[in-house]
C-alpha cells in the first residue's frame, strides 16, 4: 500500500462525513501492521463537544476489531495545505506508538511526517508510573 493509495481511500470515504454545522468534511484511513485498512470520517453533533474526528473514528474501528499496531494514517480535507490531525487526535494516536501520518487535500497535495514530529514528547503509556 503506497502513501498515495492510502490517501485516496481517505479522500473517497470523506464524502460520507456528517458535517452539517461546519461543512468541513474530513476522511481518514489507518493501515495496520498486518495490512488491514480501517476508514473514518468526522461526525458532528448539535452539541459540538460530542463531535468526533475522522482519525479517531478510523482508529477506534481498528481497535474494536482487535488491532493495536499501526503503520500509517492518511487524513484529507478540502484545505489549502495538506491537513494535519488535530492535537486530540495526535494524542490518541500516540497511545499506540509512532506511525507515519500522511496529510493531504483535495488538490492532491501531500505531506508525510512521523507522528513523533507532530507531537514531540507525547504523553504515552510508557510515561505512567507503575
Burial letters for 50-84: b for 16+ Cβ neighbours within 10 Å, e otherwise?
Answer: eebbbbbbbbeebbeeebeebebbbbbbebeebbb
Cα 109 from Cα 89, distance rounded (Å) = 21
Cα 100 from Cα 78, distance rounded (Å) = 21
Which one of the listed residues 55, 65, 81, 95 is annotated catalytic?
Answer: 55
Tell me if residue 55 is catalytic. yes
CB 76 within 8 A of CB 11: yes
Task: Catalogue the active-site residues.
Answer: 55
Amino acid at each position: 500500500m503506497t502513501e498515495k493509495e492510502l490517501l485516496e481511500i481517505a479522500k473517497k470515504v470523506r464524502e460520507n462525513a456528517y458535517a452539517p454545522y461546519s461543512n468541513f468534511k474530513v476522511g481518514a484511513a489507518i493501515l495496520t501492521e498486518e495490512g488491514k485498512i480501517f476508514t473514518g470520517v468526522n461526525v458532528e453533533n448539535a452539541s459540538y463537544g460530542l463531535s468526533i474526528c475522522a482519525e479517531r473514528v478510523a482508529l477506534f474501528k481498528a481497535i474494536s476489531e482487535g488491532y493495536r499496531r499501526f503503520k500509517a494514517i492518511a487524513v484529507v480535507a478540502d484545505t489549502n495545505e495538506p491537513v494535519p490531525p488535530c492535537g486530540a487526535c495526535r494524542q490518541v494516536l500516540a497511545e499506540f506508538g509512532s506511525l507515519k501520518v500522511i496529510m493531504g487535500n483535495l488538490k492532491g497535495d501531500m505531506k508525510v511526517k512521523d507522528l513523533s514530529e507532530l507531537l514531540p514528547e507525547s504523553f504515552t503509556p510508557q510515561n505512567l508510573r507503575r
